Structure 1
Amino acid sequence: MFDTQKVSIEWGGKTLTLETGKVARQADGAVIATLGETVVLCAVTAAKGVKEGQDFFPLTVHYQEKFSSAGRIPGGFFKRERGATERETLVSRLIDRPIRPLFPEGFYNEINCIAQVMSYDGENEPDLLAMVAASAAMTLSGVPFMGPIGAARVGYKDGEYQLNPSDAEIATGELDLMVAATQDAVMMVESEAKELSEDVMLGAVMFAHKASQQVIDAIIQLAEKSAKEPWELKSGADLSAHKNKLRELIGADLAAAYKLTNKAERQTAVNEARTKARDAFETLKHENPAEYLGTLKLVKKLEAEIVRGQILNEGVRIDGRDTKTVRPIEAEVHFLPRAHGSALFTRGETQTIATTTLGTKDAEQMIDGLNGLSYQNFMLHYNFPPYSVGEVGRFGAPGRREIGHGKLAWRALHPVLPTKEEFPYTIRVTSDITESNGSSSMATVCGGSLSLMDAGVPLKRPVSGIAMGLILEGEKFAVLSDILGDEDHLGDMDFKVAGTSEGITSLQMDIKIAGITEEIMRVALAQAHEGRAHILGEMAKALGETRNELSAHAPRIETFTIDKSKIREVIGTGGKVIREIVATTGAKVDIDDEGVIKVSSSDPAQIEAAVNWIKGLVEEAEVGKIYNGKVVNIVDFGAFVNFMGGKDGLVHVSEMKNERVEKPTDVVSEGQDVKVKVLEIDPRGKVRLSMRVVDQETGAELEDSRPARQPREGGEGRGDRGPRGDRGGDRGGDRGGDRGPRREGGPRRDRGDRGDRGPRRESGQGGQGNGGGNDDGPAPEFAPAFLTGDRD
């Protein structure tokens, strides 16, 4: 029933299979690509006609990750795949960028390319497979696609390149690089690196180019078996006469316009020339609309000829610079007083306000993907409002371009950030582009680096970025440093390099022609190295290293570790204890399964209170140590004091002051802060405290100045009282004498009123207050025997 064709190759130690003819047979081209147990279906359809008046190529690429591919149901309220996630948007761009330049000029049929992840094994990444499947489907569809392209991912570890490494290998390695290429040249590069040299990066690109040739051969084998007949392209009208007329009409005007160094003045002059051309061909607009549109496109070609010729022949660029000079740079930090970190970075007519905000763990971004829930503690958001280019346009949610530019800057800065253990904050960098004329993404890297250092984030080293351009005519080429917007539009390459003084952290390349050679890439990387070093020097004038202290407005985080067996005591039943700590102190408390606790607040006093509380729950009191406490309950014989957050102890009335105290309320009140010393802890954990040996103002320990006890009247000590048996000695107090029968009919005294009986049992203290039940007469003024333990 199915006319199925299949090709399999061994690729990087795994089997790559491309299959067509079984699924999505009504699409112009459909391929199922399989690597391991990861499966991606890509279908391509193309409109058979062109809308009237259309003068652009409407290629749309959609990449979608099906949760069912990993055996998952989407989290949250909506249980089906919805709008594209950030990752899906980035992969869609990754596929689009190398494919778009490979369609012929003048082809305006709408093309839809949909790649869907149908199965995911958790090891073989579907983004690479989707790019391969898209290339194969385009090749089979019959549309005028000048491919195929191959793709490969490269890692680098211990001096060796790795082909298509796993996520685990990427995490422990030094490089994550993706390359798309034709048989002859590289088309697209996307990467993140841990400060690698230019030679290592170039070697990785060439390694990926070579590996992609296997994929290209496999696609060609499949196309030989099942490709549809190629479309016939209509030859366009001969517009050479119109081009000559345009050159005579506005050639001088355009040449003069592109010598104006100010962007606004230059745009005004160029627009005047374009209007002059439209007016000259107004009649053709009604007679032959298609020829009219083609003529207007010749204006753009004429602009490109003027600009490119001036650069190649004279070495002079639009704004008067040579090919290597970077535009003037001004950098300023602490630009916004309330932001945790901020910078204003201006390079020529490109400018960004970059801000850094520090948050706690609960501010991390939760990502629901094929691998399950994950959390990201570093975010970078790039915004490009229309006023930055002096235009009126849509303002709102970020588009694909903004998401892509933000991710590029994220990759550039991510390798130099501290680990969570070194800096336990959630970090968000926001780049608001306020002016744009050339590489606002690289301005984001520079401004973002400065704002991070201004916020006190301990970066390994500052990061700078530069955008390189290319003018290529036959064998002659010129590489341009720090390109303008017009040079980007009229040139052949957008090559962005970011890194530190030690090496490259991110490399991105997009080509508008059929690829570039290794020689051109080598020249571009060397020239970019010089430009990055210059920009780092200019940035250092504003701030050369990370600030030693965080902003006064940033939250503080104190991290410490407790024994895992004590976690339940901090959390409490149903989270009762930890909620009470947060509600009472005002600090945020996070605890993980390993017993690592992070306490955060912008108020150091709140952090101190929460830390002390938690430590009081898990630590044991030490005899002889002085603690801060709070009176929580007053009884006839003393006061109970809470200290160390979760410990209670008794300050007997005799330990409140050196002189006699009639009532505890004469000295303390509930809620009063006091300083206490631990005198004794009995085997049951009962704690006896003292206030009188601690200076209540300073917390310093005082010498015991209480007078020695005097003998009682009428004899030595207590006289002949007879044996006490098992109840003598340590029970003391009113339980030592003849108590007589228990009162009839009355309730037994509340056990709680008997006080902190543990310590008294061990020390020989009496337990039921001062003066009851002993018929030996009144106690001495300062130290009754049943309090001191002196029973002789």
Structure 2
Amino acid sequence: PDEERDFLVILEELKKEKMRQLIIGEEKRWDARGLDEIRPISCEVGILPRVHGSGLFTRGGTQSLVVATLGTSADEQRINGLQREEISKRFMFHYNFPPFSTGETRFLRGPGRREIGHGFLAERALLPILPPEEAFPYTIRLVSDILESNGSSSMASVCAGSLCLMDAGVPISEPIAGIGIGLIKEGDKTVILTDIQGLEDRLGDMDFKVAGTRTGITAVQLDIKISGVSLEILKEALQKAKRGRNFILEEMEKTIKSPRDQLSRHAPHIAILSIPQDKIGNIIGPGGKVIKGIIKETGAEVEIDDVESKVTISSLDRESTKKAVDMIKQIIQDPKVGEVYLGKVKKVTDFGAFVEILPGREGLVHVSELSDQFVKNVSDVIKVGDEISVRLIDIDELGRLNLSKKKA
């Protein structure tokens, strides 16, 4: 075992020496590429029909499949801060690096330090191009599964994430791409490599990950194995990264150039209403009666934020969302004297009938306002469940509604 281990160490050192000699002395790379040459790229979108969006990005021997899930504010990630404050995130990027991506077999455990770090890097890279919550009130979760890996899998995840967001119909400001830049330094001689593969990452001196759009950089991560790099090297590396990003973006745009016009039919439909603070109680109703009724009748989810005075309605069915929105608009609507309403009889008494003209708003039709003729028994003229047209003739000082059927 010790001899085998020593042999592998020596083999690795010989490989490192040979690779560095090729690059420094002959400007040749291990896979015969030019110093600034990017590996072959292929892109696909919409390959998983049931999810809300999907993107597959392949660069050489590295491949990332990213899947998008769109949800409501209830799906935001809740994080307890250091001072016990609650922080919520509406955008999450999770990165998975299964052992088969590098031809290995091991136990599938929870994410490690590397996976969490790569996920945060990709999340930070994509965050600046996302629309504000006011324009796109969805919680967004992206999951990258690395299907094969030979260097720069985190940057492949950024590229696949951009494709996936556009496939999901998320109105991003512009596409984004990422690339890894490497360095071989021997004495005073340095060579900067574009799009490093796994061997160049492992045996080289630098792994400089740069993600951004055509107009700017959104995230960087620099890993070096030497004491430091000069500003001149960094400037040249950033210039090469920009040229590489632009090339990758051109390849990506051959597959999809901009976000789709519509969300997936499997994604929830969300509507947000701003409501007066004093109307929140009307929407909830006594013991939650009104809001439960809306949810039961429409099948939509209704969330109330009494701090920001807004109501979020969501459903997988567009018509259900619209129906719930219409019901809530009726609830917060103020009844107007003189208006005619189509109401439903809720209760019949000896002196008249109570009619619901708006959700949660009932008024009294006095027996004298039921008909132009004399009415002896109210139940002879009207019954519970009847739909009748009534006119609002008065709102008394207590806010009670007085209705008339004969004047409607």
TM over 0.5, shorter chain: yes
Q: Is the 8 A contact 2:63 2:149 kept in 1?
A: yes
Aligned to 1:398: 111
Paired residue type of 2:268: P
5 Å-filtered alignment, 1:661-676, equals none
Partners of 1:489 and 1:418 lie apart in 2 by 37
Partners of 2:148 and 2:343 lie apart in 1 by 58
Instruction: Note if 1:581 corresponds to 2:294.
Output: yes
Distance 1:327 1:293, change over 3 A: closer
TM-score, normalised via structure 1 length? 0.47
Say which of 182, 196, 203 aligns to 1:483: 196
Instruction: Note if 1:326 corresponds to 2:38.
Output: yes
In the TM superposition, what whole-angstrom CA distance separates every residue of 1:553-594 from its partner, at most 9, and x where no partner exists? 111111111111222332345545434433443222222212
Paired residue type of 2:393: I
In the TM superposition, what whole-angstrom CA distance separates every residue of 1:262-312 from its partner, at most 9, and x where no partner exists? xxxxxxxxxxxxxxxxxxxxxxx7xxx5x8755542211100111121122
Percent of residue pairs identical? 51
Aligned to 1:608: 322
Paired residue type of 1:440: S
Q: Is the 8 A contact 1:616 1:643 kept in 2?
A: no
Paired residue type of 1:362: A
Aligned to 1:411: 124
Instruction: Tell me the CA shift for residue 649 of structure 1.
Output: 5.1
Instruction: Tell me the CA shift for residue 635 of structure 1.
Output: 7.7
Aligned to 1:500: 213
Q: Secondary structure at the match of 1:406?
A: helix
Partners of 1:607 and 1:320 lie apart in 2 by 57
Q: Secondary structure at the match of 2:403?
A: helix
Paired residue type of 2:230: T
In the TM superposition, what whole-angstrom CA distance separates every residue of 1:389-417 from its partner, at most 9, and x where no partner exists? 22212213111111111110001001111
Instruction: Note if 1:621 corresponds to 2:265.
Output: no
Partners of 1:491 and 1:656 lie apart in 2 by 91
Partners of 1:561 and 1:606 lie apart in 2 by 19
Distance 1:647 1:594, change over 3 A: same
Deviates more, 1:563-572 or 1:597-606: 563-572
Paired residue type of 1:386: P
Partners of 1:564 and 1:649 lie apart in 2 by 23
Instruction: Note if 1:511 corresponds to 2:224.
Output: yes
Q: Is the 8 A contact 1:340 1:358 kept in 2?
A: yes
Distance 1:345 1:594, change over 3 A: same
Distance 1:578 1:324, change over 3 A: same
Task: Point out where structure 2 has 5 or more consecutive residues left out of the alignment.
Answer: 372-376
Distance 1:292 1:536, change over 3 A: closer
Instruction: Tell me the CA shift for residue 324 of structure 1.
Output: 0.9
Distance 1:681 1:655, change over 3 A: closer
Deviates more, 1:579-588 or 1:390-399: 579-588
Instruction: Note if 1:349 corresponds to 2:56.
Output: no
Partners of 1:621 and 1:630 lie apart in 2 by 15
Partners of 1:326 and 1:584 lie apart in 2 by 57
Partners of 2:395 and 2:339 lie apart in 1 by 18
Instruction: Note if 1:558 corresponds to 2:271.
Output: yes
Q: Is the 8 A contact 1:408 1:506 kept in 2?
A: yes
Q: Secondary structure at the match of 2:228?
A: coil
Aligned to 1:599: 313
Say which of 625, 637, 647 aligns to 2:361: 647
Q: Secondary structure at the match of 1:486?
A: helix
Instruction: Note if 1:376 corresponds to 2:81.
Output: no
Q: Is the 8 A contact 1:560 1:598 kept in 2?
A: yes
5 Å-filtered alignment, 1:42-441, equals 289=2, 293-294=5-6, 296-371=8-83, 372-441=85-154
Aligned to 2:403: 759
Paired residue type of 1:451: C
Partners of 2:178 and 2:206 lie apart in 1 by 16
Partners of 2:381 and 2:25 lie apart in 1 by 95
Partners of 1:477 and 1:667 lie apart in 2 by 97
Partners of 2:360 and 2:286 lie apart in 1 by 15
Q: Is the 8 A contact 2:271 2:321 kept in 1?
A: yes
Partners of 1:407 and 1:600 lie apart in 2 by 29
Instruction: Tell me the CA shift for residue 459 of structure 1.
Output: 1.0
Instruction: Tell me the CA shift for residue 633 of structure 1.
Output: 5.1
Distance 1:788 1:461, change over 3 A: closer
Distance 1:653 1:565, change over 3 A: closer
Q: Identify which of structures 1 and 2 has the higher relative contact order when contacts are C-alpha pairs closer than 8 Å and 6+ apart.
A: 2
Q: Secondary structure at the match of 2:18?
A: helix
Deviates more, 1:575-584 or 1:597-606: 575-584
Instruction: Tell me the CA shift for residue 442 of structure 1.
Output: 0.6
Q: Is the 8 A contact 1:639 1:652 kept in 2?
A: yes
Paired residue type of 1:407: F
- Specify which structure has the higher proportion of strand: 2
Paired residue type of 1:485: G
Paired residue type of 2:100: Y
Root-mean-square deviation (CA), in Å? 3.3
Instruction: Tell me the CA shift for residue 636 of structure 1.
Output: 9.4
Say which of 248, 253, 256 aligns to 1:540: 253
Instruction: Tell me the CA shift for residue 612 of structure 1.
Output: 2.8
Deviates more, 1:663-672 or 1:321-330: 663-672
In the TM superposition, what whole-angstrom CA distance separates every residue of 1:204-224 from its partner, at most 9, and x where no partner exists? xxxxxxxxxxxxxxxxxxxxx
Partners of 1:655 and 1:351 lie apart in 2 by 75
Q: Is the 8 A contact 2:340 2:392 kept in 1?
A: no
TM-score, normalised via structure 2 length? 0.88
Distance 1:471 1:646, change over 3 A: same
Say which of 233, 238, 243 aligns to 1:525: 238
Task: Point out where structure 1 has 5 or more consecutive residues left out of the alignment.
Answer: 1-284, 658-662, 688-757, 766-786
Say which of 257, 270, 281 aligns to 1:568: 281
In the TM superposition, what whole-angstrom CA distance separates every residue of 1:343-398 from its partner, at most 9, and x where no partner exists? 11111121111111111111111111203221111111111111112221221311
Q: Is the 8 A contact 1:345 1:446 kept in 2?
A: yes
Distance 1:359 1:307, change over 3 A: same
Instruction: Tell me the CA shift for residue 329 of structure 1.
Output: 1.4
Q: Secondary structure at the match of 1:351?
A: strand
Distance 1:667 1:759, change over 3 A: closer
Q: Secondary structure at the match of 1:326?
A: coil
Say which of 469, 474, 477 aligns to 2:187: 474
Paired residue type of 1:606: S
